Amino acid sequence: MSWLDEFDARLRDLDAAGLRRVRRVVRPDGAPEGGTRLIVDGEPLLAFCSNDYLGLAAHPALIEAVCTGAREFGVGSGASPLVSGHSAANAELERELAAFVGLPRALYFYAGYATNAGLVPALVGEGDALHSDALNHACLIDGARLSRAAIHRYPHGDLDALGRALAKSGARRQLVITDAVFSMDGTIADLRTLLALCERHDALLLIDDAHGLGVLGPQGRGTLAAAGLTGAAASRRVLYMATLGKALGVSGAFVAGDATLVEWLLQKTRSYIFATAAPAALATALRASLRLVEAGDARRAHLRHLIARLRSGLAGLPWHLAPSTTPIQPLIIGGNQAALAVMDGLRARGLWVPAIRPPTVPEGSARLRITLSAAHTEADVDRLVDALRGLAHGAA
């Protein structure tokens, strides 16, 4: 079939450009605690690539909670939330999530991708305008495309450009969508200025805090709380979305905000209505995780310490360490093959840091996306720093 021959040829092109993606088969090296020590395709490696920022994904309390939840509710939820899939555990989790992030109401989804892909079309459609940061996550972009609203992309973080676009648009309804912590750069969006612009132009603001919840804000309540925009200071025009498979260590996502807005989303979000509800056992684990996150100041302090240690250790290398204060610490290498070579060099030293290449990041900015976790030790970070310094010497 000529179609398949064409795919074959294009797969070979990906190989030639260093862009073929491969999956590694991973299992924990011994007990899963912390998740930083992995057997990757049979090879033991110290990993700096998980988004399990607080090291909770293998916490005994979460493992126990999954088992408790499964014994009480079974494993599968059996139906969509609007049929019979909305368990008591899911309902309780929604109340706790809303309270945790300081917003009136929350809706719990099985995945972050599906949340954003569904939310945006539920909010805007043909004739409306969407404003999207150039570095937004793929699922916000896909939601934007599904919505059929006119999409205006503004340069990363350029809120003057956003303000001009909001002022110029004649659309009846406008929605601004942004990552709160940008997943490949670690930069933090200026939520206060974004909200002020949305107020001035009567727009809604949808924030994706996949990488901020659990890490930033008082007790890990997220980037919106860190900006002082929750609780009594919450705006009715903000929708706050975050995922639950990163710092929360489980799986799933939620959106929170004004009760009317959330009720509207419950009625109109196709990825929520036409999909099997998240299992109650995971909701049970998430409730346990919320308690650990809330009590996790020591974990967050250790994480901040590791971030500072990594940054000072990598100062002066020939590669650009992006100016990030979050656990996402990208080391920009440039070319795809060069980034792969550094990744392979680390791998030969027993370290696993994935090279991120286009189209995930812009052409010419291939990078090692180093992520730190509270489960790492100082010695782990020192090992990575020493290895990178050794490779930089070799490259110079």
The residue ranges that bind ligand PLP (CB under 6 A) are 111-113, 116, 137, 139, 179, 183, 208, 210-211, 243, 245, 253
Q: Which residue is nearest to ligand PLP (CB)?
A: 112
Pick the closer one to ligand PLP by CB: 90 or 243: 243
Report the nearest approach of ligand PLP to the CB of residue 317 (Å).
26
Helices 138-147 and 112-123, axial angle in degrees (round to 10): 30
DSSP 8-state code for residue 24: P
DSSP 8-state code for residue 83: I
User: Is the Cβ–Cβ distance between 99 and 125 less than 8 Å?
Assistant: no
In Å, what is the CA distance from 285 to each residue of 67, 279, 288?
Answer: 9, 10, 5
User: What tokens does 158 get?
Assistant: 């350029």
Pick the closer one to ligand PLP by CB: 132 or 243: 243
Pick the closer one to ligand PLP by CB: 61 or 138: 138
Classify strands 129-133 and 150-154 as parallel, antiparallel or unpaired: parallel
Tell me if residue 74 falls in helix, strand or coil.
Answer: coil
Pick the closer one to ligand PLP by CB: 227 or 387: 227
Pick the closer one to ligand PLP by CB: 36 or 183: 183
Angle at the Cα of 99 from the Cα atoms of 98 and 102, rounded to 5 degrees: 85
Angle at the Cα of 79 from the Cα atoms of 78 and 83, rounded to 5 degrees: 140
Q: Between the CA atoms of 287, 291, 294 and 300, what dihedral angle is there, to the nearest 10 degrees?
A: -100
Report the nearest approach of ligand PLP to the CB of residue 148 (Å).
21
Report the nearest approach of ligand PLP to the CB of residue 381 (Å).
23
- Which residues belong to the active site? 183, 211, 246
Question: What is the C-alpha to C-alpha distance for residues 49 and 34, in angstroms, rounded to an integer?
Answer: 13
Amino acid at 159: L
Pick the closer one to ligand PLP by CB: 285 or 314: 285
Looking at 118-271, which runs of residues are DSSP E strands?
Answer: 129-133, 150-154, 174-179, 204-208, 238-243, 253-257
Pick the closer one to ligand PLP by CB: 189 or 229: 189
In Å, what is the CA distance from 125 to each residue of 17, 119, 323?
Answer: 37, 11, 36
User: Is the Cβ–Cβ distance between 157 and 189 less than 8 Å?
Assistant: yes
Report the nearest approach of ligand PLP to the CB of residue 172 (Å).
27
Q: What is the side-by-side strand order in the sheet with 150-154?
A: 105-109, 253-257, 238-243, 204-208, 174-179, 129-133, 150-154
Print burial letters for 174-198: b (CB count within 10 Å at least 16), e (below 16). bbbbbbbbbbbbbbbbebeebbebb
Report the nearest approach of ligand PLP to the CB of residue 73 (Å).
21
Report the nearest approach of ligand PLP to the CB of residue 159 (Å).
19
Report the nearest approach of ligand PLP to the CB of residue 246 (Å).
6
DSSP 8-state code for residue 110: S
User: What tokens does 129 get?
Assistant: 């305008």
Report the nearest approach of ligand PLP to the CB of residue 392 (Å).
29
